[in-house]
Amino acid sequence: MTGAGRPEVPRELRPQLSALRDLAVDLAIGAGELVRAGRREAVSDRVGTKSSVTDVVTIMDRASEDYLRRRLDAERPGDAVLGEEAGIERSAAAQPQVNPITWVVDPIDGTVNYLYGRPEYAVSVAAVLGDPTRPGAWRPVAGAVANPETGQVYHAYDGGGAFLRDHQRTGDASGDRRLACTTVTELSLALLATGFGYAAEVRREQALALVDILPAVRDIRRGGSAALDLCTVASGVVDAYAERGVHVWDVAAGWLIATESGAHVATWDSGPERPVGIVAAAPSILPGLRDLVQDAYLRARRDPPRG
Ligand code: IPD
């Protein structure tokens, strides 16, 4: 990961990174169990909406974030927490200069899948340095993405490699398998994961950009969770991921997991009033993919569809 404003990892923080990762794993599993157990009640009749009618929030999004905040308050009282539902909060005990960590949490990433009973959703927990509210000014140093339906937990800390904990598959006591992204060298052979925003006008632009992107790659997959999309780049289940308009909580943990698998992750400029776009891929195809996606979005904005 590169970028002028991104903070370096202080040497004195290094010995703590594996413990931060362990906490992220524990939190993501704990919140995931809560979310899975509460699904029936959550999807019955108390589903609200946020930015648009398709942008849902369930009582379990809020319960999961409350759980994560309660545990972090108890176990890391000096740190700040930024979550999808309640924004950024710093406890009274926080001393940002001494303790520069912000926990960036997505209580359910893939809420629409959760609503429909599809298994591609996750709880994402990341420990981040810098200011996660400013694009390019933060760096994830430890994180975990847990899929409560499959029992799989992706995790990483800076410099420690990326791993998948999957007891069912490995049969191994630790259950951890080291991850490596694919080594694809041609963009035309890359299987590309992507996602779409909630606002109709954003989706129109995303659909138009696909007119240029789809013919240039092997195929497209839309899983429904940006956090898991980045983890599938790490595990080699897809070659690449690109999306415009994700939020920091969608991608903070997955960004680190993809990077630690050997993939490169970068942002692209999608216009002054636009949220940043993200691309993740095997290093050899990343520059070409970034150009392709950035140009496709520029064209989509220049020649908007009629109607
Ligand atoms: C969404 C998912 C989806 C992505 C959207 C995100 P949410 O997060 O990650 O895959 O395409 O951009 O907003 O709303 O389910 O937490």
pLDDT in tens, 223-264: 999 999 999 999 999 999 999 989 999 999 999 999 999 999
CA of 171 to the centre of ligand 1 (A): 32
Residue 271: predicted pLDDT: 59
Q: Say whether pLDDT at 94 is over 80.
A: no
Collapse the DSSP code of 129 into the 3-class scheme (helix H, G, I; strand E, B; otherwise coil) and give the result: strand
Global model pTM greater than 0.75: yes
- Give the residue, 37 or 4, on which the prediction is more confident: 37
E strand spans, 161-233: 162-165, 176-178, 191-194, 219-221
Average pLDDT value for the chain = 89
Mean pLDDT over 280-303 rounds to 93
Distance 10 CA to ligand 1 centre (A): 32
- Output the pLDDT for position 1: 43
| Ligand 1 midpoint to CA 247 (Å) | 8
**Beta-bridge partners for 142:** 127, 157
Asked if the model's pLDDT at residue 218 lies above 80, the reply is yes
Q: Which residue has the higher pLDDT, 84 or 210?
A: 210
- Would you state the pLDDT for residue 88? 72
pLDDT digits (tens, 9 = 90+) for 154-177: 999 999 999 999 966 655 566 899
Pick from 250, 255, 270, 274 the residue to mutate for probing ligand 1's pocket: most ligand atoms within 8 Å of its CB.
Answer: 250
Question: 245: closest CA among 261, 267, 215?
Answer: 267
Residue with tokens 């995790």: 155
Using a 10 angstrom Cβ sphere, with 0-12 exposed, 13-18 middle and 19 or more buried, the burial of residue 52 is middle
**Distance separating alpha carbons of residues 278 and 285, to the nearest angstrom:** 14
DSSP state of 306: P
Candidate from 1-5, 82-86, 173-177 with smallest mean pLDDT = 1-5
Answer for the pair 153, 143: CB distance below 8 angstroms, yes or no: no
Provide the pLDDT for residue 45: 62
Q: Is the pLDDT of residue 87 over 90?
A: no
CA 11 – ligand 1 centroid, Å = 34
Could you identify the atom of ligand 1 that is nearest to the CA of residue 247? 13
Let me know: does 271 contact 126? Beta carbons within 8 Å.
no
Pocket around ligand 1 at a 6 A CB cut-off: 84, 106, 109-111, 195-197, 224-226, 243, 246, 250
d(CA 229, CA 181): 12
d(C-alpha 47, C-alpha 215), whole Å: 38
pLDDT band at 29; cut points 50, 70, 90? very high
Identify which of 49, 65, 68, 109 to mutate to test ligand 1's pocket (most ligand atoms within 8 A of the CB).
109
Q: What is the mean pLDDT of residues 193-199?
A: 93
- Please give the average per-residue pLDDT across 266-290, as a whole number: 84
Distance separating alpha carbons of residues 111 and 124, to the nearest angstrom: 12
